[in-house]
Structure 1
Amino acid sequence: MRIKPLITALALLSPCYAQSAEFTLTDAASNTYLEHWKIDNQQLGLNSKTPFSIEKMRLHGGKQEGVDVIIINNGELEVTLIPTRGMGIFNVKKDGKRILGWNSPVKEIVNPVYIDLESRNGLGWLDGFNEMMVRCGYEWTGHPGVDDNGQLLSLHGRAQNTPSSLIKVNISEQAPYTITVEGQLSEKTFKKANLVTQTAFSITPGENRFSIHDVLTNQADYKDEYQIIYHSNYGQPILEQGAKVYAAASEISPFNDYAKQGLAYWQTYLGPTKNYDEMVFNLKPIADANGNSLAVLHNKAANLGVEMQFNTHQLPVLTLWKNTDTLQQGYVTGIEPGTSYAYNTKFQRPLGLVPTINPGESKHFDLTYTVLDSKSAVTNAVKAVNDLLGNNSVKQVSTPLVDLTKAE
C-alpha cells in the first residue's frame, strides 16, 4: 500500500534546524518587520539541482492594503502563503498556471481589518474567503450560532483572520534543501482563550508535494476546548463535470436533509450549475496502522488531481463540501480533515467532536498535499485509497448526524 510518510512530522520533531539558514521576517515580540525580502539558492550558495526562491512582499490597494504574502517557488510548484490571513495558502501554480485553488467572488486577498466576523449573523468570515487552504479554528469552528453559554460563535473561528505574530524561513543547507516557513497564531482573550498555534509549511525543491505541521498549545492554567478544520478548496482546472473524489472512509452521511438528494452521487461532480445550493457530507475516515488516511480528487480525464494525506489520530473526521454553483458565484469543492464536522459547536459536543486540551498541553496536526499531474500519478493515488478500503465500500447512511430541523 502506497502511503507517503508525513515528512514534515519527521522533519520538525526538533525545533532546531541542523545546518540551516534561518531568516526572521516578522517578530512582534521584538518589533521586527521586513516589508520586502527575497532569496534564492544561488544567493545562499547552495548547489541545488533545482533552482528555488522565496519572496515576501506587501500588497497595496483596496481591501488587500497591508496584506503580506510569501511566494515559494521550488522549481516545480509556486505556492503563495498569506501570513496576514492565518498563514493560509492562497493558491498553488505549476508552469505559471494555477493548479490548486479556486475563483471566489472575493478577488482581493482581504486584510482582516476589513472583516467583521459577526456581521450577517456570524457569516462575516465569508467576506475574505478565497484561499486554497484555510485553518478553521482553533478556539471553535463550524457554522455560526449561539453556543450553550449564550455566546455567538461566528463561522469557522478566528484563526484565518489572525495575522501571524512571527514569520521565519528556514532553508536546509544540505540536500535536498528543504524550505520551511514558520508562523505563530495567537488566540488570546482575557478570561477566555489562551491558545497559540505554531504553524509550519515545508516543501522540497523539485518535488510536487508540500506539508503542513501545526502545533497548538494551551498556555492557560485551565483546560479548554479546541476545534480545527483544514478547509482545503479546489476549483478549475481539477474540478469540472465528471470530476471524481475518493476517500478512505467507512461511512458517509448527509450534513442536512438537502444533501440527502446527492448522497448516491457523492463521488462525482456536476459542471457549474445555477441554483445548486451547497451540499455537505460527513465522512468517517479509515486509516492504516499508523493512522494515516487519504483523500483524492481528480478531473474527468483522470490525468490531473490532488492527493491529501492526514492522520486520524489528530484529525478523526472528514467533511466533503460540494459547491458546484456558477463560475461567477464560486465553483468549488472542499475536502476538509478536522477534529469536527461543520455543525455549530453546541451540536458537536454530544457527538464527542469537541476535544479538550489541558494546561500546557500541545496538539499536533500533520497534512501532506501532492499534486497529481499524470494519469499514472492519479491511478496510483486512487489505488492507495482503494487499498485502505480493501474489499469494502463506503457505507451510505441517509440520516444526518444532527437533525437541524429540531435543533433550534
Structure 2
Amino acid sequence: MKLTSVCAALLLACPVFSYGAEFILTDSHQDVGNWQVTSEQLGIDSPTPFSVEKQRLYGGKQAGVDIIVIKNGELEITLVPTRGMGIFNVKQDGQRVLGWDSPVKEIVNPVYIDLESRNGLGWLDGFNEMLVRCGYEWTGHPGVDDNGQLLSLHGRAQNTPASAVKVTIEEEPPYTISVQGDISERTFKKAELVTQTRFETTPGSLRFSVHDTLTNHADYDDEYQIIYHSNFGTPILEKGAQVSAPASEISPFNAYAKKGLKDWQTYLGPTKDFDEMVFNLKPLADKQGNSLAVLHNSVANKGVAVKFNVEQLPVLTLWKNTDTEKQGYVTGLEPGTSYAYNTKYQRPLGLVPTIKAGQSKHFDVTYQLLDNSSDVKQALKIVDDIQGGNPVKQVEEPIVDLNNVSD
C-alpha cells in the first residue's frame, strides 16, 4: 500500500515514507499551528478509522498551550507537548474514563508556573493531568538538598515544553500511531539531560504506552530520578474501589499514613478533611521483570492497569487523596526510580541512581483501560500470579522518619 501525500492540505512539508508517514509539528525551524490528519486522508484502509489533531489553546493561563488529540477509534487521548508531553485525559464515547477533576481547570502554560513559589510547591499550580512525568534531574517533595540548592516539588520535566515534536503513522497493520517529543533539562554548569518521549497506540485498542529514553549529553556523570505520576479519579475511583499490586512489602510514607496501612487496598468516597495518604511499595515482577498495578471500581467492572518493568522502575508509590470532589478526589499509581521523599533522604536508600556521561536509560509504561468485569478479572489474575500466594509484608514505620530530620 502506498500512502497518499496530503502535504498541501496539511500545510506541511511532504511526509517521509520510510516505514510510514511522518509529520514534523515542532522543531527549531518551524511550528505548525492547528493541524489534523485522518486515516482516510492517508489512504489507510484501517478497519477502525483514526485521526490525530494538533490544537492551540487560547484564553486565560492556557493561552499558547499545544495539545495533540489522538482518536484511535476506541479512545480519545489528549497529549500536552507544552507540558512535558504529559497525558491530560482519556475519553471513551465522549466521556472521560481516565483522568481526574483538579481544582486547576485550565491546561496551564508553564510560563505561568513559578516552581519555587509556596516554598517549592509551585508545581501544584498546573497539576491536573492523568500522566505527569516527575523528574528527571530530581523528583520528590521540595526541600533544600545537601548542597544547599532548593529542589522544588517533582522536578521540572512536566513544566518544560517539548521540542522536536513529530507524529509517525505506520504504513502497514497494525498502523501504530506514535507521537514523539524531546524534553530538555539543560542548565549551564548543572545538567544536560534530554528525554526523548514517545507515546504509542494502535487503532481500535484500549491500550496505550509511553517509551522514554533519557540521555546524559554532558561530559560528567549525573544523578537522575523519575516518577510516572499516573492519576485516576471518577468514574473508576469511588467508595469501595480497590487497588492491587504484587509487592513484597508496603510501608507508610509518614506518620499520618500509618493509620491507613491495614486498609491500603480499599478507598473511601469523597471525605472532607482527608489529608493525602501515601504508601511505599516494593513491587514484585514476573520472570521478565514486568509488574502490574490495577485499580478498579467497587463492582469490579471498570478499571485501569499500569504495567512497568522493575529493572527500569524499581519502586511503586501509592497516593490516596480521597478528599472532596472539588478539592481533588484522586489516587495515583506511580512507578518510579524513587519514592516521593526529597532527594537527599533517598540517597541513603540507594534510590537516586547515576547516569554516566553519554549514557541512555529507558523507561516503558503501558496503560490498559479495563472495560468490563472480564478485563478486570484477567488483570487481577496477573497480579495474583506474580504475588504467588505470598503475603504483602506490612511495615509499620516509614522508611524515612520525617519527624527526626531537618533541613
TM-score range for the pair, normalised by the shorter chain length: over 0.9
Q: CA deviation at 1:18?
A: 4.9
CA distance 1:17–1:311, change in 2 (3 Å): farther
- The equivalent of 2:303 in structure 1 is 305
Q: CA deviation at 1:32?
A: 1.1
Q: CA deviation at 1:19?
A: 1.8
Question: Does 1:34 pair with 2:32?
Answer: yes
Please list every run of 5 or more consecutive structure 2 residues that lacks an aligned counterpart in the other structure. Answer: 1-15
- The equivalent of 1:214 in structure 2 is 212
Question: Does 1:57 pair with 2:69?
Answer: no
Maintained 8 Å contact 1:101/1:131: yes
Distance in 1 (alpha carbons) for counterparts of 2:17 and 2:197: 15
Alignment counterpart, residue 226 of structure 1, candidates 209, 224, 227 = 224
CA distance 1:17–1:187, change in 2 (3 Å): farther
Q: CA deviation at 1:339?
A: 0.2
Letter aligned with residue 27 of structure 1 = D
Deviations 1:265-319 (A, max 9, x none): 0000000000000000000001111110000000001000000100000000000
Letter aligned with residue 57 of structure 1 = Q
Distance in 2 (alpha carbons) for counterparts of 1:363 and 1:97: 36
Local SS of the residue matching 2:262: helix
- The equivalent of 1:261 in structure 2 is 259
- The equivalent of 2:19 in structure 1 is 19
Local SS of the residue matching 1:136: strand
Alignment counterpart, residue 392 of structure 1, candidates 372, 390, 394 = 390
- The equivalent of 2:91 in structure 1 is 93
Distance in 2 (alpha carbons) for counterparts of 1:388 and 1:175: 32
Distance in 2 (alpha carbons) for counterparts of 1:62 and 1:151: 32
Distance in 2 (alpha carbons) for counterparts of 1:105 and 1:36: 28
Alignment counterpart, residue 181 of structure 1, candidates 166, 176, 179 = 179
Distance in 1 (alpha carbons) for counterparts of 2:50 and 2:331: 30
Question: Does 1:47 pair with 2:40?
Answer: no
Letter aligned with residue 172 of structure 2 = Q
Deviations 1:316-337 (A, max 9, x none): 0000000000000000000000
Q: Which moved more, 1:386-395 or 1:177-186?
A: 386-395
Q: Which runs of 4+ in 1 moved over 4 A?
A: none
Alignment counterpart, residue 341 of structure 1, candidates 326, 339, 342 = 339
Q: CA deviation at 1:407?
A: 1.0
Maintained 8 Å contact 1:213/1:365: yes
Letter aligned with residue 344 of structure 2 = K
Alignment counterpart, residue 274 of structure 1, candidates 266, 272, 275 = 272
Deviations 1:230-255 (A, max 9, x none): 00000000000000000011100000
- The equivalent of 1:130 in structure 2 is 128
TM value normalised by structure 1:
0.95
Maintained 8 Å contact 1:245/1:298: yes
Maintained 8 Å contact 1:298/1:306: yes
Letter aligned with residue 24 of structure 2 = T
Maintained 8 Å contact 1:309/1:369: yes
Local SS of the residue matching 2:396: coil
Q: CA deviation at 1:17?
A: 8.8
Q: CA deviation at 1:374?
A: 0.3
- The equivalent of 2:191 in structure 1 is 193
- The equivalent of 1:115 in structure 2 is 113
Q: CA deviation at 1:21?
A: 0.4
Question: Does 1:370 pair with 2:384?
Answer: no
Deviations 1:52-78 (A, max 9, x none): 000001000000000000000000000
CA distance 1:171–1:186, change in 2 (3 Å): same
Maintained 8 Å contact 1:293/1:310: yes
Q: CA deviation at 1:95?
A: 0.7
Distance in 2 (alpha carbons) for counterparts of 1:209 and 1:64: 28
Q: CA deviation at 1:185?
A: 0.2
Distance in 2 (alpha carbons) for counterparts of 1:389 and 1:172: 37
Distance in 1 (alpha carbons) for counterparts of 2:389 and 2:87: 36
Question: Does 1:354 pair with 2:362?
Answer: no
Letter aligned with residue 38 of structure 1 = Q
CA RMSD of aligned residues (A): 0.8
Query: How many aligned positions are there?
Result: 391
Maintained 8 Å contact 1:17/1:172: no
Local SS of the residue matching 1:258: helix
Letter aligned with residue 249 of structure 2 = E
Distance in 2 (alpha carbons) for counterparts of 1:59 and 1:388: 44
Local SS of the residue matching 1:350: helix
TM value normalised by structure 2:
0.95
Local SS of the residue matching 2:261: helix
Distance in 2 (alpha carbons) for counterparts of 1:186 and 1:135: 13
The sequence identity of aligned pairs, in percent, is: 72
Please list every run of 5 or more consecutive structure 1 residues that lacks an aligned counterpart in the other structure. Answer: 1-15
